[in-house]
A and B are shown apart, each in its own frame.
Chain A
């Protein structure tokens, strides 16, 4: 059974159809890239999947539960984690507090599994090499460090499905490698990842499968190797007369 299945999902906002009949499913442990030009509806799809927008029609199932009308907080408690495009960190809180608040929001039974919360916080910051900044406000970090903090916080909060919205945007090449390593670790642990990216080589390197979105529709799906030279992908990104990249 797929961990996530999306069936005939459509969304209309202000008389404009943003998502059209989107249908796909994701198996446990898959890393799936979601690509497409700006305005194709990628982040909107993430907003629908994480419960911030209610679809006009269609259904979504997480494992066997219908989550179409479930709130973002309930989806998080079911095991869906989100990393935001515009840094979902709490800038006026310290790094330690940023992790602590995520762990404290876990359902009680998951929190008990962590053992000492203090050690779990330290372990999370150690994972991305930020423990020496533990007492600093998160707003004082560089863009790349903020991104690592947010990813680490989400990864350690016991989620099963991760929605990562452009996790390497504004991140140095060194930190991009760190992000790729973190996603690799997740895959090893059998976690499922859906990732929006514009960096196609990065997507090819880490994803099992790629979904291509254009004007709110899934127009292509397949292994990165297969779709890389697909004419349709070239047309979407570079126009009908473009040479392959």
Chain B
């Protein structure tokens, strides 16, 4: 039971990050490797606002807004000038941008761990499972975010435009759907979801400048395993990977011995390798990318 709860907590964080990646890959066909840094900027933004005396709720909104602004900057500086020439170029330019952001975060915020709610968590008095009120709220908020994205995708004209662009970009453009505005909006939405991921880390654990890379890798593992432009497949894969991680380090494997928690991040990488060997298009992809 505890493993499932831990999996849900870790999976919700990965789902927030990976869901945005799936939208961006589906619409633009590119990878944004500065995603982890954008998550940290959202988290640190919220921490800074809250530590400056602003109440929690406005600080959360402020953190998301800071994340959105930096995501927009990322798009204009590291993506827009390059991706029309070749969709593979942003893979390199976003790595370069992520290094710049990494250095800026380190210089500005030091390596000291920061928590958005430094007072400690409020654990519920259950014997069978250890879970805090904050974690329940975070899992609930992730589900709400995912449901809102689902509603937008399936029930609004904007969502239909996104899905049309994902399925046949040329046909969508020839119907008059402007790709440049859509690209910017989708990219910024992915950054806001990443910023929410950063806030999630800042509430559930501690923010440190070195977290960006492992967070990005987990999100990409979910994206590749789920089927790249498949939003729901990616969300599901995020939870599967998180559950497997918990299973790997939370279960005694031989003579009551456990795998060290340090090996936890290997699970995501092994998962990518296995999925690529068995089903290179992704576990939940049932078609080739329509382009």
Chain A interfacial positions (CB closer than 8 Å to B)? 50-52, 71-77, 81-82, 84, 88-93, 97, 100-102, 104-107, 139, 150, 153, 157
Contact = CB atoms under 8 A, between A and B. Distances in A.
Contact of A105 (B167, B177, B180, B287): B177
Contacts of A88: 168, 170-171, 174
A76 to B, nearest CB: 4
A156 B192 CA distance: 37
Max chain B Cβ within 10 angstroms of own Cβ: one of A52, A72, A74, A75: A72
Contacts of B175: 76, 101-102, 105, 153, 157
B160 A76 contact: no
Contacts of B170: 52, 72, 84, 88
A78 B171 CA distance: 16
A91 B288 CA distance: 11
21 contacts: A52-B170, A71-B178, A72-B173, A73-B173, A73-B174, A73-B176, A76-B173, A77-B176, A82-B174, A88-B170, A90-B167, A91-B287, A92-B163, A93-B160, A100-B160, A101-B160, A101-B163, A101-B164, A101-B172, A105-B176, A153-B175
A101 B178 CA distance: 13
B290 interface: yes
Interface string B216-229: 00000000000000
Given A52-B170, A88-B171, A153-B175, 10 more contacts: A72-B174, A76-B175, A90-B167, A90-B168, A90-B171, A91-B287, A97-B163, A101-B160, A101-B161, A104-B157
B179 interface: yes
Dominant SS among interface residues on chain B: helix
A71 B170 CA distance: 11
A89 B167 CA distance: 8
A105 B177 CA distance: 6
Contacts of B160: 93, 97, 100-101, 104
A50 B174 contact: yes
Interface string B167-208: 110111111111110000000000000000000000000000
Contacts of A106: 176
Interface residues of B, number: 20
Nearest to B176: A76
B248 to A, nearest CB: 34
Contacts of A97: 160, 163
A120 to B, nearest CB: 14
B28 to A, nearest CB: 15
Contacts of A105: 161, 175-177
Contacts of A52: 170, 173
Contacts of B178: 71, 73-74
Contacts of B176: 73-74, 76-77, 105-107, 157
B177 A73 contact: yes
Nearest to A110: B176
Given A88-B174, A157-B175, A104 B168 contact: no
Nearest to B161: A101
A71 B171 CA distance: 13
A232 B179 CA distance: 43
Lowest 8 A-B CB distances belong to which pairs?
A: A88-B171, A76-B176, A72-B173, A82-B174, A105-B176, A90-B167, A104-B157, A101-B160
A106 B175 CA distance: 8
Max chain B Cβ within 10 angstroms of own Cβ: one of A71, A77, A100, A105: A105
Interface in B22-60: none
Nearest to A98: B164
A157 to B, nearest CB: 7
B290 A91 contact: yes
Contacts of A93: 160, 163-164, 167
Interface in B128-174: 157, 160-161, 163-164, 167-168, 170-174
A104 B161 contact: yes
A77 B172 CA distance: 12
A71 B173 contact: yes
A105 B180 CA distance: 14
A105 B176 CA distance: 6
A92 B179 contact: no
Contacts of A107: 176
Nearest to A117: B157
Max chain B Cβ within 10 angstroms of own Cβ: one of A75, A77, A102: A102
